[in-house]
Amino acid sequence: MTQTTPQTVRLADYQPFTHLIQKVDLTFTLSPSATKVKARLALAPNPARPGHHALKLDGEGLRLLSCTVDGVDVAPKLSPTGLTLAARLLPKRPFILETVVEIAPEANTALTGLYMSRGMYCTQCEAEGFRRITFYPDRPDVMSRFKVRIESKLPILLSNGNPVRRGKASAVWSDPWPKPSYLFALVAGDLVSHSAKYTTKSGREVVLNIWVRRGDEDRCAYAMDSLIRSMRWDEEVYGREYDLNVFNIVAVDDFNMGAMENKGLNIFNSRYVLASPETATDEDFARIEAIIAHEYFHNWTGNRITCRDWFQLCLKEGLTVFRDQQFSGDMRSAAVRRIEDVMTLRARQFREDAGPLAHPVRPDSFVEINNFYTATVYEKGAEVIGMLKRLVGDDAYTRALDLYFDRHDGDAATIEDWLKVFEDATGRDLSQFKYWYTEAGTPKLHVTDHFADGVYTLTFEQENPATPGQPEKHPKVLPIAVGLLNPNGDEVVPTTVLEMTEARQSFRFEGLAAHPIPSILRGFSAAVVLDRDTPAAERAFLLAHDTDPFNRWEAGRALAKDVMRRMVTDAAEPAADWLDALAHLALDDTLDPAYRALALRLPGEDDMAQTLHGAGHVPDPDRIHAARRKMGDALAARLGPRLPRLIDDLADVGPFTPDAKAAGRRALRVAALGLLSRLDGGAAAEAAYAKANNMTEEIGALSALLDVGKGAAQLDLFQARWSADRNVMDKWFSLQIAHAAPADAARVTATLTDTAAFDWKNPNRFRSVIGALSANHAGFHHLSGASYRLVADWLLRLDPLNPQTAARVSTAFETWHRYDTTRQQIAKAELQRILAAPKLSRDLQEMIERMLGAA
Ligand code: PHE
Ligand code: ZN
């Protein structure tokens, strides 16, 4: 068993910090093995904490060289988690604390704090990384103005705020905006920039730089374009302007997450910056656009208004995801974006919410905060805001947001503050709505209907399932968007938002001539699982006639899931009416190709397993896999002779552009190619691979080949062409694992981990191999247990070096309870084996204990 019992942090224990920090002066003398950090803090007793208090500063892995109070040496008490200065050593008035510490960035493999990535220095401080740089109250409600001096011979030296001075081997930066330590950043390296200028609405000139390694500067144009569009959009839609003279973005190869919103100095995982048509797929382009926007939008929702404590993480993350989704919807097709966002929500958040890791959007306790950067906090956090907006209406939403920025600019705020601005702006009582923040679990919404004498009645019942630590739930406030259609396809009642607040509630529609066909939960208006016995004919009707694009797609998806379920549970054949409806839609060239491509995407295997489990079945991964393949084959056969023509019609016109329209055409073309290869043994895909001139098509053709057991030669060509490009090679790794047959997945993965190019200390590479295995549903859950074992082995290996990434990848096991007892036993034994390791990180230990239901 592990040696320590890590402490649980509780929201209920919140207290303001004992001191205020009026000013921070940092001096970094950079060296890979012995960087010196001098910190000069101007401290004062905090009137919110009356009395004369000791000063406790967080600090981890720091070698303290000196410590003075008002220039006089003092001897603090040191512990593995920080430094304490007894009250008797401190004045009762403002004073200056100066510490000097030494750290070794080159030895930092955890990638939090100050570390090195291929010769360049960079930092990652959220959530609690600053304490690995210097002694400090490392909590978001302590905000201060930072001035930073960097001493190094490296050519590019960056920190937050505006540049003040550049010397021969030094640079000084000053950030006028008070900020918490988690937004601190420093970068030093031999970098080159792709630059542009931007003028804000009120006339401020801003220099925009994207800093990358030499050779990558021609892959920054799309990120820059996305940044400029984000800045304009935030001015136009939220009235928010940028507030410094320079905005820097840096791309690094070794990064635990996607990107980080440090004030004026965003640091990005290079895979979310670098893009060219040859190296990035359309999905990559869309993701870059969204993440650039997300980090930029944090400048207001996160930085100018930050979080009081880490329990409030969704205050910045839910809102910023909501804003980046709005932005992407405006830039691209709103309907397509909504569908994709809901697919992600279901795949990641519903899965989380239904398992042992379920937690509220605002958790009330944690052991390791890094384990709470989850789909629930991010994606469900965004859905909750969407529901709030739907309930109060667009105008009230705008008023509430204006009030939020007005009232809380410069604050470290809470969810209570957030809800209060909505209450004040609308006069509504949101106390029931707040349960969306405090209670975990996805509500199930049961629907029945009734028609008599021109009156149509919809009756809803909500079931709020128990989750770990929360056996009892309250009914939620549900905005249920409903439209009614006539049997002839006309809409008789346009979209109406019903507000459900009770556990069971009926709504009446009067004056109807005939029994209408209801279109329920339009636009996915509430984050629930809809449970209604809907006849296949009604789904097909909605697939053909619904005026709401989301529900139109949803009808097709539900139809496909019904078909797949019957194939799995009753050994049924792919239903002909489903094939007809889908083929009809796929060939309807009055519809947006992106939309048709989405419709052709079959439900995922994990999604199917989740649905079956939710309906009381034990999912069989092999049968699900076989059913999905069979559906693809049947669809290919149904579309058969039409496919080559469809592919030709969708050929690129003119040079490559990454916009949504062109991407939609490619998506449909690639989907059609995947189907065609099931008929022609890959001949068309081989030809397409040979002449592909962009990564979307290259990957699309290669996937089509791998799916039919071909593509070995193309994999070699791909490797030969891209071996020097890390981000592209990640695709080469993950693709082979994603397309491996269930019985081969573990072996294919093990072979890849044996290659020299498997640089497992790099989080992107680790995820594209070990993460890819856990994403291959039937492969990961193969009855041999080989994949469970392999993933567990690698988690144990990575954990001592990089606990954060190990803990995230461990969520591969969060669904272990869904499957049959044999699989459960194997998975559980692996989890217990991990837990028995002699020195587990707090991160991984918390995850494993929660997954075992032991925490
Ligand atoms: N705050 C970052 C984002 O959402 C995510 C992040 C968290 C990055 C922790 C690094 C570490 O945009
Ligand atoms: Zn964020």
Residue 824 burial class via C-beta count within 10 angstroms: exposed 0-12, middle 13-18, buried 19 and up: middle
State yes or no: pLDDT of 1 exceeds 50: no
Q: In this predicted structure, what is the pLDDT of residue 721?
A: 97
Q: In this predicted structure, what is the pLDDT of residue 135?
A: 99
> How far is the CA of 609 from the CAs of 476, 635, 809, in angstroms?
26, 21, 20
CA-angle at 197, arms to 194 and 203, nearest 5°: 160
Report the separation in Å between the CA atom of 832 and the middle of ligand 1, taken as the mean of its atom positions: 30
Residue nearest to atom 1 of ligand 1 (CA): 260
Backbone phi, psi, residue 156, to 5°? -115, 120
Among all bound ligands, the one having the nearest atom to the CA of 257 is 1
- Enumerate residues 6+ apart whose C-beta is below 8 A from 455: 508, 509, 510, 512
Report the separation in Å between the CA atom of 375 and the middle of ligand 1, taken as the mean of its atom positions: 12
d(Cα 518, Cα 510) in Å, to the nearest integer? 14
d(Cα 142, Cα 416) in Å, to the nearest integer? 19
Q: Give the mutation target among 373, 377, 379 for probing the ligand 1 site: most ligand atoms within 8 A of CB.
A: 373
State yes or no: pLDDT of 125 exceeds 80: yes
Kindly report, residue by residue over 437-483, the tens digit of the pLDDT: 999 999 999 999 999 999 999 999 999 999 999 999 999 999 999 99
Q: Residue range 525-531: average pLDDT?
A: 97
State yes or no: pLDDT of 582 exceeds 90: yes
Sign, CA dihedral 773-775-781-782, equals negative
Compute the mean pLDDT over every residue in the chain, rounded to the nearest whole number.
97
What is the residue type of 585?
Answer: L
In ligand 1, which atom is closest to the CA atom of 302? Answer: 1
Cα-trace Rg, the chain: 28
State yes or no: pLDDT of 652 exceeds 90: no
d(Cα 156, Cα 169) in Å, to the nearest integer? 10
**Residues 724 and 744: beta-carbon distance below 8 Å:** no
Beta pairing partners, 116:
121
Report the separation in Å between the CA atom of 481 and the middle of ligand 1, taken as the mean of its atom positions: 33
Kindly report, residue by residue over 762-781, the tens digit of the pLDDT: 999 999 999 999 999 999 99
Sheet holding 144-151, edge to edge: 72-73, 63-69, 95-103, 35-45, 19-29, 144-151, 170-179, 162-166
pLDDT band (50, 70, 90) for residue 791: very high
In ligand 1, which atom is closest to the CA atom of 127? Answer: 9
In ligand 1, which atom is closest to the CA atom of 129? Answer: 11
State yes or no: pLDDT of 754 exceeds 90: yes
- Enumerate residues 6+ apart whose C-beta is below 8 A from 13: none
pLDDT band (50, 70, 90) for residue 3: very low
Q: Give the mutation target among 230, 256, 260, 295 for probing the ligand 1 site: most ligand atoms within 8 A of CB.
A: 260
Residue nearest to atom 2 of ligand 1 (CA): 260
For the chain, give the number of residues: 855
In ligand 1, which atom is closest to the CA atom of 373? Answer: 7
pLDDT band (50, 70, 90) for residue 2: very low
- Across 159-191, b (16+ Cβ under 10 Å) vs e yields bbbebeeeeeebbbbbbebbbbbbbbbbbbbeb
In ligand 1, which atom is closest to the CA atom of 256? Answer: 10
Kindly report, residue by residue over 493-517, the tens digit of the pLDDT: 999 999 999 999 999 999 999 999 9
- Local structure of residue 276 (DSSP, 8 states): -
State yes or no: pLDDT of 855 exceeds 60: no
- Tokens 């494993």 -> residue: 848
Tokens standing for residue 40? 């000069």
Among all bound ligands, the one having the nearest atom to the CA of 319 is 2
Kindly report, residue by residue over 806-815, the tens digit of the pLDDT: 999 999 999 9
Among all bound ligands, the one having the nearest atom to the CA of 321 is 2
> How far is the CA of 781 from the CAs of 607, 636, 771, in angstroms?
14, 27, 13
- Local structure of residue 410 (DSSP, 8 states): T
What residues are labeled active site? 295
- Enumerate residues 6+ apart whose C-beta is below 8 A from 86: 54, 77
Q: Give the mutation target among 111, 123, 126 for probing the ligand 1 site: most ligand atoms within 8 A of CB.
A: 126
Backbone phi, psi, residue 590, to 5°? -85, -10
Q: In this predicted structure, what is the pLDDT of residue 854?
A: 63
Report the separation in Å between the CA atom of 267 and the middle of ligand 1, taken as the mean of its atom positions: 10
Report the separation in Å between the CA atom of 658 and the middle of ligand 2, taken as the mean of its atom positions: 24
Report the separation in Å between the CA atom of 316 and the middle of ligand 2, taken as the mean of its atom positions: 7
Report the separation in Å between the CA atom of 126 and the middle of ligand 1, taken as the mean of its atom positions: 7
d(Cα 468, Cα 376) in Å, to the nearest integer? 14
Helix, strand, coil shares of the chain, percent, nearest 5, are 45, 20, 35
Among all bound ligands, the one having the nearest atom to the CA of 804 is 1
Residue nearest to atom 9 of ligand 1 (CA): 126
- Secondary structure (3-state) at 70: coil
Report the separation in Å between the CA atom of 320 and the middle of ligand 2, taken as the mean of its atom positions: 6
pLDDT band (50, 70, 90) for residue 92: very high
Kindly report, residue by residue over 251-302, the tens digit of the pLDDT: 999 999 999 999 999 999 999 999 999 999 999 999 999 999 999 999 999 9
Report the separation in Å between the CA atom of 301 and the middle of ligand 2, taken as the mean of its atom positions: 9
Residue nearest to atom 5 of ligand 1 (CA): 260
Torsion angle of the four alpha carbons 230, 231, 233, 236, in this order, in degrees rounded to the nearest 10: 170
- Secondary structure (3-state) at 782: coil
Residue nearest to atom 3 of ligand 1 (CA): 260
Kindly report, residue by residue over 4-57, the tens digit of the pLDDT: 578 999 999 999 999 999 999 999 999 999 999 999 999 999 999 999 999 999
**Rounded to an integer, what is the distance from CA 698 to the centroid of its chain?**
26
Among all bound ligands, the one having the nearest atom to the CA of 260 is 1
Tokens standing for residue 651? 């050929």
Using CB distances shorter than 6 Å, the residues near ligand 1 are 124, 126-127, 257, 259-261, 294-295, 317, 373
Q: Residue range 634-645: average pLDDT?
A: 97
In ligand 1, which atom is closest to the CA atom of 378? Answer: 4
DSSP calls for 619-664: --HHHHHHHHHHHHHHHHHHHGGGHHHHHHHT---SS---SHHHHH
Report the separation in Å between the CA atom of 260 and the middle of ligand 1, taken as the mean of its atom positions: 5
Give the largest Cα separation in the chain, rounded: 89
Kindly report, residue by residue over 168-189, the tens digit of the pLDDT: 999 999 999 999 999 999 999 9
Residue nearest to atom 11 of ligand 1 (CA): 126
Q: Give the mutation target among 179, 184, 261 for probing the ligand 1 site: most ligand atoms within 8 A of CB.
A: 261
Q: In this predicted structure, what is the pLDDT of residue 6?
A: 80
- Enumerate residues 6+ apart whose C-beta is below 8 A from 450: 456, 457, 459
Q: Give the mutation target among 230, 256, 257 for probing the ligand 1 site: most ligand atoms within 8 A of CB.
A: 257
Tokens standing for residue 569? 């549970």
**Residues 123 and 267: beta-carbon distance below 8 Å:** yes
d(Cα 816, Cα 831) in Å, to the nearest integer? 10
Among all bound ligands, the one having the nearest atom to the CA of 315 is 2
State yes or no: pLDDT of 595 exceeds 90: yes
State yes or no: pLDDT of 395 exceeds 70: yes
d(Cα 378, Cα 294) in Å, to the nearest integer? 11
Residue nearest to atom 6 of ligand 1 (CA): 260
- Secondary structure (3-state) at 86: coil
Residue nearest to atom 7 of ligand 1 (CA): 126
